[in-house]
């Protein structure tokens, strides 16, 4: 069942989404070779709680951490650990919060130092595909229009692998609501979107093939061919003429730019 939000509810959700953006921008300031994802996760939990919110992921279906930090060939749901990040690594940081009963949930992929050129391009193209998908999140369009736009830009234009097993989703008082938003599909397919639908749109794109597997921990999803994967996610509200992006990458990008240890992937 698709739950539409009132304008007032959307504004509350914007606050939740912006808290995730602020948390990601704080993380961006700390990223450097030698830091561990476990120490970042601890900081994320503290920052969220200091802002009167609760980490959405903590204890969600038994998940024991505040965030998902996915390094290199980990697509999503990377479990924080004590392995130091290295020069040339990429890390997707996915954070959810519950603020005033509403969820915010989005992600950003950072590069530590200078990754290989093909990885830089994967980061750029995946981020572009997110915005191409968002352009289609308008009333009267169908979910498949978003899916098609992302697949066309990443798979058809650049030959990347679009993960099939994991999808974007509706967002609201629950972390995962209807409808599902795949990153592949046909134009004109899927549920018709109306104003007030809030979606987490999140391309998960592999440098190599689309195939993935889940590790024995039940969470960590990796590429089968061991090649890197990139993940970006925005929270958006469907509107009549143009999607309203509730989260804010500009503050994350500013922090990324200010941190000399981070490769600047702005286009």
Q: How far apart are CA 154 and CA 229, in angstroms?
A: 12
Structure tokens at 197: 């639908």
DSSP E strand stretches across the chain: 54-55, 67-71, 74-76, 90-99, 102-111, 161-162, 168-170, 177-181, 198-201, 204-206, 212-214, 221-223, 229-231, 234-237, 244-245
User: In sequence order, which ranges of 31-90 are alpha helices (DSSP H)?
Assistant: 37-50
Alpha-carbon span 101 to 138, nearest angstrom: 26
pLDDT in tens, the chain (267 residues): 999 999 999 999 999 999 999 999 999 999 999 999 999 999 999 999 999 999 999 999 999 999 999 999 999 999 999 999 999 999 999 999 999 999 999 999 999 999 999 999 999 999 999 999 999 999 999 999 999 999 999 999 999 999 999 999 999 999 999 999 999 999 999 999 999 999 999 999 999 999 999 999 999 999 999 999 999 999 999 999 999 999 999 999 999 999 988 876 544
CA distance linking residue 137 with residue 90, whole number of Å: 28
Which residue segments constitute the domains of the chain, with CATH numbers given? 7-258 (3.90.230.10)
Q: What is the pTM of this model?
A: 0.97
- % helix, strand, coil for the chain, step of 5: 30, 25, 40
Q: Rounded to whole angstroms, how far apart are CA atoms 121 and 108?
A: 15
């Amino acid at each position: 069942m698709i739950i539409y939000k009132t304008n007032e509810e959307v504004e509350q959700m914007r606050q939740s989404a912006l808290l995730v953006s602020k948390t990601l921008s704080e993380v961006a300031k700390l990223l450097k070779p030698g830091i561990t994802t476990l120490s970042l996760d601890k900081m994320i939990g503290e920052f969220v709680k200091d802002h009167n919110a609760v980490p959405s992921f903590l204890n969600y279906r038994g998940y024991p951490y505040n965030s998902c930090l996915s390094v290199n060939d980990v697509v999503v749901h990377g479990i924080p650990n004590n392995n130091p990040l290295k020069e040339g690594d990429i890390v997707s940081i996915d954070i959810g919060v519950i603020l005033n009963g509403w969820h915010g949930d989005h992600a950003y992929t950072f590069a530590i130092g200078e990754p290989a050129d093909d990885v830089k391009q994967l980061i750029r193209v995946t981020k572009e595909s997110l915005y191409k998908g968002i352009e289609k999140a308008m009333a009267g369009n169908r979910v498949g229009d978003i899916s098609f736009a992302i697949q066309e830009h990443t798979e058809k234009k650049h030959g990347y692998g679009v993960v099939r097993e994991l999808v974007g989703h509706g967002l609201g008082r629950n972390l995962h609501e209807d409808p599902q938003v795949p990153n592949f599909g046909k134009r004109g397919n899927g549920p018709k979107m109306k104003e007030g639908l809030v979606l987490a749109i999140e391309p998960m794109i592999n440098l190599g093939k689309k195939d993935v597997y889940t590790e024995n921990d039940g969470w960590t999803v990796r590429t089968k061919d061991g090649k890197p994967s990139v993940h970006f996610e925005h929270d958006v509200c469907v509107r009549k003429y143009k999607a309203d992006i509730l989260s804010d990458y500009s503050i994350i990008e500013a922090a990324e730019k200010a941190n000399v240890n981070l490769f600047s992937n702005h286009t």
